[in-house]
Amino acid sequence: MLQTVQLRLGHPGDAPAIGLLAHRVVRRWILPDQPPEAGQALLARLGTRSLRERMLAGQRFHLAWTGEVLVGIAAMRDDSHLVHFFVGTRHQGRGIGRRLWQRAMRDAVRRAGTRRFTLNATRCALPAYRRLGFIATGPERPSPHGILSTPMALVAPSAARARA
Ligand SMILES: CC(C)(COP(=O)(O)OP(=O)(O)OC[C@H]1O[C@@H](n2cnc3c(N)ncnc32)[C@H](O)[C@@H]1OP(=O)(O)O)[C@@H](O)C(=O)NCCC(=O)NCCS
């Protein structure tokens, strides 16, 4: 049976579920391309306590659920920088990432009038980000957290600004 995907804003009580999904996706898709120390630091930032602290500090975690199962995460910092973007391996390629991104973008536009979004793309996610409209703004390099990634940016389409 095809289960519907529901999106909602996360709260600190969701931190354990977010950490579990993020650890699985990061180990499978991101760590193989990363220096080991940067990869371990990324896993630490995705621990329950760090996630809770960042949510309480105002980072917005948009979550996708099928029933009780968390299947996707898009986390926005300062209403302008996409810090985390993960969809569970079995659920990838079915439009969940696009829905999460559109929700996160509209939320930021509505809250802060954001026009330009940024992120640091790991290698395996570059094609998906390009499809979402992001453009590389520099070469691959270690991010401020040491993660090898490509800086990208997107100007919010005027339709998203009008709807917000
Ligand atoms: C990146 C990620 C979040 C995208 O989520 P998703 O649910 O698979 O994405 P969608 O199915 O909504 O696809 C979004 C768009 O990207 C395209 N796309 C996705 N993966 C692609 C790939 N490997 N190559 C080319 N295009 C791709 C889709 O076709 C879609 O475009 P369309 O709507 O115009 O057809 C997910 O693949 C993921 O978690 N990857 C591993 C973790 C990761 O790299 N996260 C980002 C860290 S910076």
95 lines ligand 1 (CB under 6 A): yes
Instruction: Compute the distance between CA of residue 9 and CA of residue 43 in angstroms, rounded to an integer.
Output: 22
The confidence score (pLDDT) of residue 2 equals 59
Q: Over the chain, what is the mean pLDDT?
A: 95
- Tell me the CA–centroid distance for residue 28 and ligand 1, in Å: 15
User: Does any ligand 1 atom lie closer than 6 A to the CB of residue 71?
Assistant: no
Nearest ligand 1 atom to the CA of 92 is 8
Cβ–Cβ < 8 Å for 97, 87: yes
pLDDT of residue 156: 86
For residue range 28-56, what is the model confidence (pLDDT) as tens digits? 999 999 999 999 999 999 999 999 999 99
Residue 157 has pLDDT above 90, yes or no: no
Distance CA 53, CA 100 (A): 22
Residue 116: pLDDT over 50: yes
Q: Which atom of ligand 1 is nearest to the CA of 129?
A: 16
Task: For residues 110-135, give the mean pLDDT.
Answer: 97
What is the residue extent of each domain of the chain? Answer: 6-163
Domain 6-163 -> CATH class: alpha beta
